[in-house]
Amino acid sequence: MPTDPSQRLLHPVGRLLERAAAGEPPPADGTWSRERPWSATVYGVLTFTGHAVLCVPDSVTDADLAGLHPDGFGGAADPRLIVALAGQRGWIDSLDLVLSAPGLVGRPQWLVPRPDLADQPRALRAAGLRTATRVFGLADRDDAILTIGNGIGGLRELSFELDPTSRDSGLGRRLIADARHLIVPDEIVLASVAPGNIASMRATLAAGFRPLAGVQLFRPDVASGGDT
């Protein structure tokens, strides 16, 4: 039951990530560029080897961005930059590694739709960051949840969570690999994982995902001066 590609609204950042996944990343020349946000409510800073992409609203001028020194050699990941964009009371997500993997033919072996889990914290968080989010899990147990929605750049993006009693069993790896069957083979699916989340990182890598970029999402608090 692959996701319907017609539901996907691909953004320039999505095309950039697809090219990077195909072995054509941006030039590693230390520069930065800007793109319109792929979401009306969530903005982001993406970092590649030697290049950064800032997805910010029009209220942030190029001069504003240049004043924050967002170079492609680490400047775009400076905590002061993201705080300046989000404001003191804005929401700032963790600095994540974006990984990608191509979809696979065939049907999932374990994952089934679980809309009854849509009120779980992991599903609610996913719905707040992505559009067209669907919730999956196992048919006969509630200790695992996996979501897929339109995420960074309009690409499909997954997230997952296991009950602590089900960790260290290989279940995470199996579910993530199974989720690739929800994606048609000529598309990629993303997963954003905090580098310090070693268990999730190992599971994602073992499921066939490869590092692609870094990302930090944020929502500005305009009242506190966010959005510069």
- Percent of the chain scoring above 90 in pLDDT: 85
Fold assignment, 98-211: Aminopeptidase (3.40.630)
* Summary mean pLDDT of the chain: 92
Residue 222's pLDDT is: 59
- Report the alpha-carbon distance of residue 179 to residue 39 in Å, rounded: 24
- What number is the average pLDDT over the span 159-181? 89
Percent of the residues in the chain that have a pLDDT greater than 70, as a whole number:
93
Is the pLDDT reported for residue 4 higher than 50? Answer: no
Tokens of 14: 């999505």
The 10 Å CB-count burial string (b at 16+, else e) for 74-113 is ebbbeeebbebbbbeebebbebbbbbbbbbbeeebebbee
Q: How confident is the model at residue 226 (pLDDT cuts 50, 70, 90)?
A: low
Domain ranges of the chain: 5-97+215-224, 98-211
Q: Tell me what pLDDT residue 170 has.
A: 84
| Mean pLDDT value across residues 140-146 | 91
Per-residue pLDDT, averaged over 27-48, amounts to 97
Confidence of residue 9 (pLDDT cuts 50, 70, 90): low
pLDDT on residue 168: 73
Q: Which residue has the higher pLDDT, 4 or 137?
A: 137
Q: Is the pLDDT of residue 45 over 80?
A: yes
Burial class, 71, CB count within 10 angstroms (exposed 0-12 / middle 13-18 / buried 19+): middle
| Per-residue model confidence as pLDDT tens digits over 191-219 | 999 999 999 999 999 999 999 999 999 99
